[in-house]
Every structure is written in C-alpha cells, then in structure tokens.
Amino acid sequence: MSDLNKLTIAGARDALAKGETSAVELTEACISAIDASGALNAFVHGTPDMARQMAAAADQRIKAGNAQPMTGIPVGVKDLFCVKNVPSQSASRILDGFLPQYESTVTQNLWDQGAVMLGKLNQDEFGMGSSTENSVYGATVNPWKLGDGVARTAGGSSGGSAAAVAADLCLGATATDTGGSIRQPAAFTGTVGLRPTYGRVSRWGVIAYASSLDQAGPITKTVRDAAIMLGAMASVDAKDSTSAERPVPDYEAALTGDIRGKKIGIPKEYRIEGLSDEIDGLWSRTAEMLKDAGAEIVDISLPHAKYALPAYYVIAPAEASSNLARYDGVRYGRRAKLGAGDGVVEMYEKTRAEGFGPEVRRRVMIGTYVLSAGFYDAYYNRARRVRALIKRDFDQAYASGIDAILAPTTPSSAFALGSADSSNPVEMYLNDVFTVTLNLAGLPGISVPVSLDQQGLPLGMQLIGRPWEEGELLNFAQVLENASGFVAKPTRWW
C-alpha cells in the first residue's frame, strides 16, 4: 500500500486487521511526512524512536489477536498533554525544559489501546488564542494555501493538531477545547473536531488553562474516526474529581445514519449582525440536508447566548490567573537569571515577566483584576450568573424536545497570519463568538467540514449535542458529512 499516512483511522484499522499493512509501515510513512513538513510548524517535538518501538509492539499485539481499535494507529499529541519524559510545555517559555514524570490519563488510555506516539503538536501558549500565533515555537501555517501564496492560520489554540491531521502527518490528534480550540481549528483546516461533554474525558495531566471549561477531544479526518478516537480517549478517572461516573459507550455503533424524526434547533441569536451571506447560506443549506435525511428543523431561541463571549472572557482569564500562579520559577521549568541583591519577589517577577508571552500576561492581569476584592461581584460573579442563564437556555431547548443544535463554527474562513491587530485583542476574541457558548454550558459540540468558500478555503458547521449524547451527536455529524460530500484536501506545497 502507498501513501499510508493518508489513511483514515478506520481505514488503517481495517488494513491492519487484514494484514495489508503493518503498524511499523504506517508509522514510517507518518515519520517521513513529518520530516518533510517543517514549513507547517505543526509538530514541535518529534518522538520517532518512541513511535518505532510502540509500532513494533502494536504489530506483535495485532499478530497475537488482541488488537483494539487504536492499536497501531500513529497519532500526534497537543503539547499541553503531559507525556512522560517528553517535553510538554503548553507552548510556553516558562515550561522550557519541563519533562513530566507522569502521563496524562488521555495519552495513557491511547497507549493502553496500542496507539503510536509521533510527537508533540503546536498550540497557543496555555491554550490562549485563536490562531496559534501565541506560541513560543512560532505560528503553525495552515496547509490550505491558495494561489495568492498567503500563509494563513490553522486556527487555535489546537492549530498544530488540526494542521497535522489536514496535511496527513498523522491519522488523528489529541486537542483541547476551552472556548473553541478543537472546533475552530478543525473548521479552518477541513477536519473534524469533537469537544465532548465536560467530564467525559479526564483532565488529569492536561496542563490547565481554565479548569471549569477545559475538555480534551480528538481532531480527525472523518466523523467515524472521531467516534473511534473519542472511545479510546474517554474514561472514568478517579484522578480527576470532575470526571463523570458514566460508562463510555461504543460511539462507532451509534453511527446508524438514521436521524428520522429527530429535532434540530436553529438558534436565532447566532444570526449575528454582519454574518456573511456565504455563511448564512451554508447554514440554510446544511439545515436542508438534515431535513432531507428526515430530521425536523425548528427555530429556537437561546436568549442569553449573546452574552457568552463577554462572560467567557471574564471567567476563562479568572481561572487562568489562578491556575498559572503555580509558575513561579521554583517548581517547574524556567527561572530568570537574577542579579545581585534580587530576592524572592524579584525572582517571581522576572521569571513570570520573561516566561509568559504577552497574551498570557494580559489574561493573568484581567483575571487578577476581575477576582480582586473590589471587582469580584461586578465582573466574576456577574459572569457566573450569566453562565447559569446560558446553561438554562440550553436545558430548556433540550427539555422542549430538541436533539441537537446547528450553527456555524466560525464567522469566517482561515485568516492570514499576522492580520489581527495586536493593539486590539478583542478582534481575535470575536473569532470565538460561535464556539464559547457551549463551553459555558458544559455541552458537547462537533465541527464538520461541509464546503469550500469562494476563495477555496474550508468552512465548517457546528452541531451542539445534548449532554452525554456524543454518540447521537456523531450520528448527526456523519449524516451531514455524507450529505455535504466534502472530500477536498489541501494541495501539497510544503
């Protein structure tokens, strides 16, 4: 078989089972693809030796007849997952040199199934950003390049994961979504990104950004692959107090293709001012596709959705300022060089000033401000009350019989690297207008590539599911994937 790195997870699994290829061959194909992908800056720490060992072990396991769905499947891992003895620095200078001495539950689950570790993937520092430009490793470049030669963002914060999957450097990748970081990069790269219900996947060993919003999930080439990979990543984990005590169902078995009689809600508040005709048209066309498959399309209202973005940009920095207090130059990573006479306060100040990038410093300052005694009620508590109302809106929609909600993933296709005005950070935050709402409500969501825009760049649509119903959500997503017939791939230039 040739071009093994271009296989889907399902395709590779079936080829491995039939003996048409081996995990070692698959892994070598991915390692060669990664070696030739420097211009994308997606992989930031390769682990080829580890990959070769794990692939050989996977082949033994397949021969012995006890393969699981991810056995022998080469994957990439977002930098913020701790992998034992592999650099894991959440794309931050402050974690320079940090080698975790333990394994995140998600990666452990993948290795237990026999998946193969190819290396660490680029991201925005601590997950803060929507373009992977806030990274100590430099920006990831979207594999989708048009005739204009412009380097575009692969989205963020999981831009490395999305670019790597879109460019066939790996068969699937882990990612995290605090406010859209799985779904938005997936939409920008023509890949599938699934953020599970909060509590479905363990956060243990995932370098924290905002703990009440963080959730890990897969970025893959197809919806079926997302079902397979989520099944391997999810678990009930005593090491994470917010991990839900719910058995992990067989997500692939949920892909029946039958959505007859299901109700899909179209939230009117997502039809924001200035929404392009192109995205609006795509929204109507995809609703029509679900209708043709037998679903009922219902207009719904989520009255507080319009407050989601401001509430998110209070709550996420508040939690970040607290989570990031641990980086003090003492316990992990990098410590600033100190001058004669510098004491412990100077050490904290210098270490944090040079260890954190500008966006992280901004979030720490915003977070500290909104949590300060004088402003706690005006900002943080108010945002928490808004969050409760947003959740109630969704609860009411689902209680009225809605099975899933359809909305755009992003307000535009991938924008050019360097095009955001750094003096106006809100411009970047506005990219998250369609994604953050579900994080505040703890719900699962998936972005499915459905079309190319007029320029020839991928666009994704988002489906939001009922809590714990990822199987049903994946089934809707697969119906949309089939109906839209999206199969475009970026032309190789790297």
- Site residues for ligand GLN per CB under 6 A: 127-130, 157, 177-181, 209, 316, 432
Closer by beta carbon to ligand GLN, 165 or else 293: 165
- The letter for the amino acid at 157 is S
Give catalytic status of residue 212 as yes or no.
no
d(CA 132, CA 157): 5
Whether 385 and 290 have beta carbons less than 8 Å apart is answered as: no
d(CA 379, CA 191): 36
Q: How far is the CB of 428 from ligand GLN (least distance, A)?
A: 7
Continuous segment of H or E residues that includes residue 292:
helix 277-292
Q: How far is the CB of 432 from ligand GLN (least distance, A)?
A: 5
Strands 263-267 and 296-300: parallel
* DSSP line for 244-290: -------TGGG-----TT-EEEEEGGGS-TT--HHHHHHHHHHHHHH
Closer by beta carbon to ligand GLN, 124 or else 168: 124
For residue 425, what are the CA distances in angstroms to 136, 159, 421?
Answer: 18, 18, 7
Residue 202 CA from chain centroid, whole number: 14
Closer by beta carbon to ligand GLN, 74 or else 218: 218
Closer by beta carbon to ligand GLN, 321 or else 451: 321
Closer by beta carbon to ligand GLN, 174 or else 178: 178
Q: How far is the CB of 340 from ligand GLN (least distance, A)?
A: 39
- Among 22, 37, 78, 161, which one carries the catalytic annotation? 78
Continuous segment of H or E residues that includes residue 61:
helix 48-63
Q: How far is the CB of 28 from ligand GLN (least distance, A)?
A: 32
* DSSP bridge partners of 206: 81
Q: How far is the CB of 431 from ligand GLN (least distance, A)?
A: 7
Closer by beta carbon to ligand GLN, 197 or else 451: 197
* 277-282: long-range contacts, CB 8 A cutoff, minimum separation 24: 278/453, 278/454, 278/459, 279/408, 279/411, 279/412, 279/459, 282/408, 282/450, 282/451, 282/459, 282/461
Closer by beta carbon to ligand GLN, 202 or else 286: 202
Q: How far is the CB of 414 from ligand GLN (least distance, A)?
A: 14
Whether 24 and 59 have beta carbons less than 8 Å apart is answered as: yes
Give catalytic status of residue 131 as yes or no.
no
Q: How far is the CB of 115 from ligand GLN (least distance, A)?
A: 23
Side-chain half-sphere CA neighbours of 409 within 13 A: 36
Q: Which tokens go with 76?
A: 């990439």
Give catalytic status of residue 78 as yes or no.
yes
Reference 366, options 312, 302, 438; nearest CA is 312
Closer by beta carbon to ligand GLN, 28 or else 432: 432
Q: How far is the CB of 1 from ligand GLN (least distance, A)?
A: 36
Closer by beta carbon to ligand GLN, 161 or else 475: 161
Q: Give burial (CB, 10 Å; 0-12/13-18/19+) of 256.
A: exposed
* DSSP bridge partners of 83: 86
Strand ranges across the sheet with 172-176: 43-46, 116-121, 74-78, 172-176, 216-220, 192-195, 445-452, 458-465, 404-408, 263-267, 296-300
Whether 152 and 96 have beta carbons less than 8 Å apart is answered as: no
Secondary structure class of 461 (helix, strand, coil): strand
Residue 45 CB partners (closer than 8 Å, separation 6+): 79, 86, 87, 119, 120
Q: How far is the CB of 181 from ligand GLN (least distance, A)?
A: 3
Residue 77 CB partners (closer than 8 Å, separation 6+): 83, 107, 117, 118, 119, 120, 121, 173, 174
- Among 88, 92, 161, 181, which one carries the catalytic annotation? 181
Query: Active-site positions?
Result: 78, 157, 181
